[in-house]
């Protein structure tokens, strides 16, 4: 009975775990260092009330030809619905359709995790991956190490490289939420700046373009250190095998392209590689 660990409870990890259901004779486990599912498809809730939420990462998804089955499934379960609101400055492609998640974009990832039947654990911060007697010994900041036959890494590539061990290094009383995204360039330039200073810089600019916007009841400044892939692995292989026996394999949008379809492509590539190995 194989033990398979999927490290990362984002879209790639969740979809990969779901695709492995029934294909693995054993147990699939998902770990994530965050407090909940989603990764860059997470939904943030206000400290003043959980009913007030906003998607700080991905806010809508756009299907690609040949990916209809994934979207049809999510639509039929009410996870997604067509996005009808206008997006200022967006260049619409002919016959394109965008979708949003009424319950928050993290609902997409949570759906796949539920479909996977996997055991999901949060606040599991992995620090070391070591080869021990033909298995992978996974150590984390707290708790004893655990052993797995297959490890699938779907966390951002910079985080993979930081691992130690044997790896080569809608109620009327609820007000609306407003999300302000900066450019990738702005984020890169201020990545290590004081968050309070960056927040004030953003708010000042927001006030200059929307002077009538009411003063917010609360503000959260989210720094995305790994927001988008600017340089993916050459030829977009979908996955990369780091060790054959026992299997250690990594994937995610860093191995395809940085969007919804890229995560699904990597999940499918990971699942097929693991299936052929088991």
Range with lowest mean pLDDT among 94-98, 156-160, 210-214, 240-244? 94-98
- pTM (global) more than 0.85: no
Domains of the chain, each with CATH number or no CATH: 2-55+105-178+216-277 (3.50.50.60)
Instruction: Tell me the average pLDDT across 103-121.
Output: 96
If one compares 274 and 216, the residue with the highest pLDDT of the two is 274
What is the secondary structure of the chain as a DSSP string?
-EEEEEE--SHHHHHHHHHHTTT-SEEEEEEESSSSS-GGG-EEEETTEEEEEEESS---B---TT-HHHHHHHHHTTS-EE--S--TT--PPTT---EE-TT-THHHHHHHHHHHT-EEEES--EEEEEEETTEEEEEESSS--EEESEEEE-S-HHHHHH-EESS----TTSPP----PPPHHHHHHTTTS-HHHHHHHHHHHHHHH-TTPPPPS-------TT-S-SSPPTT--SEEEEETTTEEEEESGGGS-SSHHHHHHHHHHHHHHHHHH-
pLDDT band at 24 (very low <50, low <70, confident <90, very high): confident
- Residue that wins the pLDDT comparison between 229 and 59: 59
* Residue 137: per-residue pLDDT: 97
Checking if the pLDDT of 170 tops 70, the result is: no
């Amino acid at each position: 009975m194989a033990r398979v660990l999927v490290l990362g409870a984002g879209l790639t990890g969740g979809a990969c775990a779901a695709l492995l259901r029934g294909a693995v004779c054993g147990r699939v486990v998902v770990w994530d260092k965050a407090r909940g599912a989603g990764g860059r498809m997470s939904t943030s809730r206000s400290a003043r009330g959980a009913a007030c939420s906003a998607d700080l990462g991905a806010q809508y998804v756009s299907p690609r030809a040949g990916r209809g089955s994934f979207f049809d499934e999510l639509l039929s379960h009410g996870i997604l619905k067509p996005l009808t609101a206008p997006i200022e400055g967006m260049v619409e492609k002919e016959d394109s359709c965008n979708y949003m998640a009424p319950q928050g974009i993290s609902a997409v990832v949570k759906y796949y995790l539920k479909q996977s039947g996997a055991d999901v654990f949060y606040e599991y911060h992995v620090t070391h991956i070591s080869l021990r007697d033909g298995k992978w010994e996974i150590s984390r900041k707290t708790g004893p190490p655990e052993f797995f036959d297959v490890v699938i890494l779907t966390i951002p590539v910079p985080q993979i490289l930081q691992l130690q061990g044997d790896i080569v290094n809608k109620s009327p009383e609820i007000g609306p939420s407003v999300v302000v995204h900066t450019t990738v360039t702005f984020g890169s330039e201020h990545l290590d700046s004081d968050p309070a200073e960056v927040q004030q810089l953003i708010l000042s600019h927001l006030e200059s373009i929307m002077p009538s916007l009411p003063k917010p009841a609360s503000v959260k400044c989210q720094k995305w250190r790994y927001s988008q892939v600017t340089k993916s692995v050459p030829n977009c292989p979908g996955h990369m095998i780091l060790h054959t026996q026992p299997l250690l394999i990594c994937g995610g949008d860093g191995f395809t392209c940085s969007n919804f379809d890229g995560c699904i492509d990597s999940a499918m590539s990971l699942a097929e590689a693991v299936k052929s190995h088991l």
